[in-house]
Amino acid sequence: MSDNSLRLVWIYPDLLSTYGDQGNALVVERRARQRGLDVQRLDVRSDQQIPTSGDIYLIGGGEDRPQRLASERLIRDGGLSRAVSNGAIVFSVCAGYQILGHEFINDLGERQQGLGLLDVVSTRGEGERCVGDVLADIDPQLGLPPLTGFENHQGVTHLGKTARPFAKVRFGKGNGVGDGYEGAYNDTVFGTYMHGPVMARNPHIADLLIKLALDVNALPPADDQWYEALRQERIAAATQPA
C-alpha cells in the first residue's frame, strides 16, 4: 500500500451482516478518511473471489447456516488465508470470529472446519445464551481504552496456546467459558463477540487496525465527540444493576 491509501475489504455482506456489523466497515472507512487517506473499499459477496491485495479485512456475525456456508466458501476460495500470509489485518465478529478458528459447531450440530487463522476452538454452550451489554479491559499491550459492546451468542470459544485474549471482562460473558476473557488475537488477526457495531462504540479499535496496516505508531487526531458520547452511554448501561 502507499502512504496515503488504504484497501478495505468487507467479506460476505450477504451472509455475515445480520447484526449491523457492516457499520464496522463504515467506521474504519470514515476514520481513515479523517486522516486524509484515500480509501478503496470493496464489498465482496459470497459468490465472488476474495482479493489478496487488501490491507484490512472485516467479517461480521451471522446465523448458523450462513456461517457454515461462509466457512466452506472461504476455505475453498483461499484468498483470505493468502492475504493474511502476506501481512493483511483481519478483524472478525461473532460468527466470523468462530470461522477464523480451527473449528466450530454448525447448524447441523456437526463440527465444522474453520480457517485456522486464530488458535481457538468454538463449541455449543450448554447454559444460558450470552446476551447483553459487555464492558471489558482490552489487553494492555494494545494500548486501548476499555471495550464496550453487545453480545448475543450461544457458542463458547476456547483459546489455544498461541491466541492472546483480546480483553478481560468486567461485566458480561465474553468467550463464555468462565475464564473471564473476551475475544482473541495474534499479530494481525482479531476476533470478538462484540456487536454494537463494535467500531462505533470503540473507534480506537478502528484506529489500531489502520496503524497496523500503515505500520505507524500514531495517527493524527480525529473528532471523537460523537463516539465518546455513545461510549459513555453504553458503559453506563453495562454497569447499571439489572
Chain segment 193-231, per-residue pLDDT in tens: 999 899 999 999 999 999 999 999 999 999 999 999 999
The count of other CB atoms within 10 Å of the CB of residue 69 is 18
Q: Is 35 annotated as a binding residue?
A: no
Q: How far apart are CA 81 and CA 71, in angstroms?
A: 12
pTM of the model: 0.95
Mean pLDDT in residue range 17-29: 92
Task: Give the active site residues.
Answer: 94, 195
Q: What is the pLDDT of residue 19?
A: 82
Q: Cα–Cα distance between 41 and 25 in angstroms, integer?
A: 8
* DSSP label at residue 129: -
Q: Which fold has domain 5-239?
A: Rossmann fold (3.40.50)
- What average pLDDT does this structure show over 63-80? 97
Q: Above pLDDT 90, what percent of the chain?
A: 90
Residue 51 is given by DSSP the state: P
3-class SS of residue 205:
helix
